[in-house]
Amino acid sequence: MKIVIDVEYEDGRTETVRATTKDMSRFEEERNIAVAGGHDFTIKELAWLAWSAKSRRNANVGPFDAWWDSVDDISPQSEATPPLESNQSTG
């Protein structure tokens, strides 16, 4: 299970963060919310997942609130629909 999250910072930088199963498990433990059966994430929950994934990989991220203050926009990437094969009918 992964969620890919696009983060845009107030200074114009952008990055893509991949929250993995480990991050989801940490989220479930911290928030006492199950996500395995499907969960509609709030903006702040997406932010926490992105921060958690970054902090797990890089100790220099700092506390959540300070990191969140630097974020201008955050959004999950939508899952792309695979292209139709050339011999597949469209309806």
Residues 6+ apart with CB under 8 A from 84: 90
One pLDDT digit (tens) per residue for the chain, 91 residues: 788 999 999 999 999 999 988 988 888 888 888 877 777 888 999 999 999 999 988 868 899 999 999 999 999 986 544 444 555 555 5
Residue 3 CA to residue 40 CA, distance in Å, equals 12
Contact predicate 49/57, CB 8 Å: no
For 29, counting Cβ atoms within 10 Å of its Cβ (0-12 exposed, 13-18 middle, 19+ buried), the class is exposed
